[in-house]
Homo-oligomer: A and B are copies of this chain.
Amino acid sequence: MLYKNELIQSFLSGDMRALARTVSMVEAGDLQSLQLLAAFAREGKRARLIGITGPPGAGKSTLAAKLAESLLDRGERVALLLIDPSSPFTGGAILGDRIRMHAIAGRSGLYIRSLGSRGSLGGLSRAVPPIVQLLENFGFDAIILETVGTGQAETDVIETVDSVVVVTVPGLGDDVQAMKAGIIEIADVFVVNKADREGAERTARQMEEALKLGPSDVPVLTTIATTGVGVPALISSLDAHYQTMLADGELAKRRERRLRKALHAYAASLVSVRLAEWVEEQLTGHWADIESGRVDIYSCGRRLAEEFQKGR
């Protein structure tokens, strides 16, 4: 308990190593450690959450790094969370691959972390919300979440940020078509990166057309992330979006949605652990019936589920 109190103390005093250790504990699905979260859940600390998503090869990491750099330059504390469900690697391991991050790694006020799929209890969808809350409680002004692709884990994550930046590149062809349906719903700002490539303007216009079908005005910007071209305009666009949301109550709505999701995920993590133990207890002595085919697993599973949640 002394150890735990020390960790809490270090965390609250702004020690990045205490933050890193706590993130690892939560990522590993250590439910005991999740109790620490309650201790960190301070009032009033509010971070701005920016999500960056898009297909592989769109330059999301480079753009995320440039964005972080610009925010650091104007004095904000920035956390960068790289989420890759297809990677078994977490923590430092993947960062070696992310060359673009080297340019900003080590800057004061910056925290970079990658989250892979391994070890996270119930998957990334459950691990990310409490980690984001930790980062918020630690006192970052901005949290940038970069996610690859459009899997369920990423969709879950992206749905809970304040501003979603969708990045694509010229010449993805059919992929852009395929992206449209899902993208229109989630993009707050659309970026055509690698704008020095042929077809950038055409891609931007195609996206403008596609986005017109959506409910609100989504700006389409062009950037060259490697050189930083277009990044100031992206920041302005994100700032404008933030101010609009602040004014019209959308920010509060998204924050509530985020908190609700985190609460649900946490309760579900705890219940699923107990459910798994309980089902095993109930199965003791009954497995032969299933093995022989006398009882099918679906009838059995349904009966156990109903008994477990009886009265709820």
Q: How far is the CA of A182 from the CA of B118 in the complex (A)?
A: 11
Interface residues on A, range: 35 or more
Q: How far is the CA of A18 from the CA of B155 in the complex (A)?
A: 31
A301 touches B88 (CB 8 A): no
Given contacts A85-B152, A123-B123, A312-B278, contact A268 B263 (CB under 8 A): no
A242-274 CB contacts (< 8 Å) to partner B? 256, 259-260, 262-264, 266-268, 270-272, 274
Contact B85 A296 (CB under 8 A): no
Number of copies: 2
Interchain CB contact under 8 A, A275 and B88: no
Do the beta carbons of B275 and A268 come within 8 Å of each other?
yes
Distance A297 CA – B309 CA, assembled complex (angstroms):
22
| The stretch of A34-42, A67-75, A99-107 that contacts the partner chain | A34-42
Residues of B within 8 A of A182 (CB): 88
Tell me, in angstroms, the Cα distance from A274 to B290 when the chains sit together: 25
Cβ contacts under 8 Å, A296 to chain B: 37-38, 41
A305: Cβ under 8 A from any B Cβ: yes
- Inter-chain contacts of A153 with B (CB < 8 A): 85, 117, 123
A88 touches which one: B151, B272, B283 (CB < 8 A)? B151
Give A56 Cβ to nearest chain B Cβ, in Å.
8
Within 8 Å CB of A222, what residues of B? none
Bound-state CA distance A117–B124 (Å) is 13
Contact B151 A117 (CB under 8 A): yes
Q: List 29 A-B contacts (CB under 8 A).
A: A35-B302, A38-B299, A41-B293, A44-B293, A85-B85, A86-B149, A87-B149, A87-B150, A87-B151, A88-B149, A88-B151, A117-B153, A117-B155, A118-B152, A123-B152, A130-B298, A256-B287, A259-B290, A260-B283, A263-B300, A267-B275, A267-B279, A267-B305, A271-B272, A271-B275, A271-B308, A274-B309, A275-B309, A275-B312
Question: Contacts A117-B153, A278-B309 given; 7 further ones with Cβ under 8 A?
Answer: A86-B148, A123-B125, A262-B297, A266-B301, A267-B302, A270-B305, A274-B305
Binding site for B on A (CB under 8 A): 34-35, 37-38, 41-44, 85-89, 117-118, 120, 123-125, 130, 133, 148-153, 155, 178, 182, 256, 259-260, 262-264, 266-268, 270-272, 274-276, 278-279, 283, 287, 290-293, 296-302, 304-306, 308-309, 312
Task: Sort A-B residue pairs by CB-CB distance and give the 3 closest, nearest first.
Answer: A43-B293, A41-B296, A270-B305
